[in-house]
Amino acid sequence: MPGMFIELIDGEFLQIKSIAGNSDSNEAILRGYRLQRCSSMNGMLEKKLNELCFFHEVDLDDPRPLLEQSVCEFSIAQVKKIRNVRLTNQKFPLDRNFNNSDFGSQLDAAQNGGLTARWKYICTYKSAAQRYGNEFHDRAFEHVRADEVQGPVTSSDAALRETWRGETIIGGSYLPFTHSQEHVPPTRAPGQMFTYGDAFCGTGGTTRGALLANLKIKWGFDFNAQACVSWKSNFPDADNYELHSSEFVQTARKLIEAGAQAKFKVDILHLSPPCQFFSVAHSVMGKNDEHNSASLFAVRDVIEVATPRVVTLEQAFGIVRPQFMWYLAALIQMFTSLGFSLRWALVHFEDWGLPQRRKRLIMIASCPGEPLPRLPAPTHSATGMHGLKLYATVNATLAQIPHGAPKHNPSELHAQDYKPWDGDAILPRSMTCAGGQNWHPSGRRDFTECEYAALQGFPPGHIFKGSYVRKQIGNAVPPSVARVLFESVKRDLCVADGIVDEPEIMVVD
């Protein structure tokens, strides 16, 4: 019967969509959607008894919708027995489908108790060939939503979001003026913006991208004193905290307890915890490794004090290497244990307009009840086909630096005798804290600090202060890339809010 759930002899489960006949064997074929126990998801979901997760695989070159592509087929001979499964949009442990007291043991409950499905694991590939090679485009855990629940819904998605963060102002939490009650969606009020907080903000690369995407900057924190001096110089109207993540959380909690929750609550939170420990260039243990890896897991507390609708995270791509997969799984479980949906992908930043080869792990997560934003599509390519722009080149980027720009005096640099290279292409190597063995295309000198900043996606006018400027630049998330990410997130939030996003008015405080 369509809609029924069965357990298969291999330990997986199937929600039956349809039953077909095999013309060769006259045997019935069951078609439907696979599910696995959450305890089998390699630590990415909490290992809770009798909790299930749908498993979907999607090819981008297949025009069929997700639910059609995800249909699997099994013979009657592969069926073990019928099982009772409840779909719910509630966060664990609500809506569990069995009582422990009804069973003599956990094994008995696992074999015969009711099951609960709250999650969908979606693996997306560019093509079937890449699926066979397990070369994923992106992966996601999406929480079951209210409109997918079969039977009574105990809480709406809006109620789940309210439980997480309190009131959500549709269209963005920042309203610069007093508006009459006649202002209602689907349009936004003049100057209304989504608010933004930046954890591990550094010199302000991601914050600059958020500002370019017209988000309202509320706060940023980082433990690096030199970087904070630069950050405050660029965003003087926002609050800056020169603190480690644990210290920031302690400070925020004290102020929240005193009634200042609105000071830290944001619509969009970005996290860039220190990534050197996971970098492929990191080959020798350093004195900060323990602190840097611990910072990765301090993000849960930051999320809890900021109560965002959406979280974005950037991390070195080395975290997906086998020796660090435990860290990645634990990071994913940190989000899912909070009831957040999330997607993650390895992104080549040149595809988002950066004039250098730079690959990073990008995560986008949404709070309970909030639809999960998409990953931004590429804006650039090597060929410029399909409406994309050609890759940004080094020469074109350097040509945009205005005459007399700060920290841009090539004559002050020592003459060099490096191998010349073609500047009408992207930078061949990633920028790092030490430059990444990159030099000017002429081969006769290094880049100026201003040129380093431009090639790292900073616009003219971003201020760098203090010492170790190249390190500040190399550690930064490129602002041009962050802008692409946040503009995409903002569009999807507007869609979720039913907003027709009109041209925005830049508001100067």
Annotated catalytic residue: which of 53, 201, 275, 494? 275
CA distance 4 to 490: 39
CA distance 462 to 476: 12
How would you label 132-166 residue by residue, b for 16+ Cβ within 10 Å and e otherwise?
eeeebbbbbbbbbbbeebeeebebebeebbeebbe
CA distance 341 to 144: 9
Cα R_g (the chain), whole angstroms: 25
Residue 418: Cβ-neighbour burial (10 angstroms; 0-12, 13-18, 19+): middle
Question: Between the CA atoms of 411, 414, 419 and 421, what dihedral angle is there, to the nearest 10 degrees?
Answer: -30
How would you label 220-242 residue by residue, b for 16+ Cβ within 10 Å and e otherwise?
bbbbbebbbbbbbbbbeebebbb
494 is an active site residue: no
Q: Which of 75, 62, 67 is nearest to 19 (CA)?
A: 75
CA distance 24 to 74: 15
Q: What is the DSSP letter of 410?
A: G
CA distance 331 to 345: 14
Question: Between the CA atoms of 65, 60, 376 and 189, what dihedral angle is there, to the nearest 10 degrees?
Answer: -20
Q: Which of 12, 3, 4 is nearest to 80 (CA)?
A: 12
CA distance 376 to 364: 10
Tell me the catalytic residues. Answer: 275
